[in-house]
Amino acid sequence: MTQTLMQKSLYESDFLLWTQETVAKIRAKDFDHVDFENLIEEIEALGRSEKQELENRLETLLAHLLKRIYVDMPDCFNGWENTIREQRRRIILRLKNTPSLKACWDDSLNDAWFLALGTVKDEYSKKGYQFPDTWQFGQDIETMLNVDFWV
């Protein structure tokens, strides 16, 4: 019990040191002294951060796609298209490095759509631009990462 309290205190007071000691204990197969409670929480958080990264990239991609498709500001097209290409490249890499993210694509896209649409509407609706309430194009990975919807 004292070991657990001491480790929890280290986890709360010096996260870097806690990670280093935890790794050293696992490498030494000293499982009796590993702070599994916090280790499990951190591993779960890593998984959530992978999904959050995908959602953030999709949100940015969708916001810039919406602007490029529906906002008639030719001086901005190049910047929006550059952002679209960059987000697509980053998403492709993320999916390559974490293929299981493909399983949560639809949910991530839906969450990202809600956020992107709200952001773009807030910025451009007052300037007279209209946006659909649903994504009007294919939502599958291949389509989202390769099609120039504005052509």
What gap in Å lies between CA 122 and CA 142, rounded to an integer? 29
9 pLDDT tier (thresholds 50, 70, 90): confident
Q: CA nearest 66: which of 143, 133, 140, 142?
A: 133
Asked if residue 5 has pLDDT above 70, the reply is no
Contact 108, 58 (CB under 8 A): yes
Contact 116, 62 (CB under 8 A): yes
pTM over 0.85: no
For 13, the token pair is 């007071």
For 81-135, write each residue's pLDDT tens digit.
Answer: 999 999 999 999 999 999 999 999 999 999 999 999 999 999 999 999 999 999 9
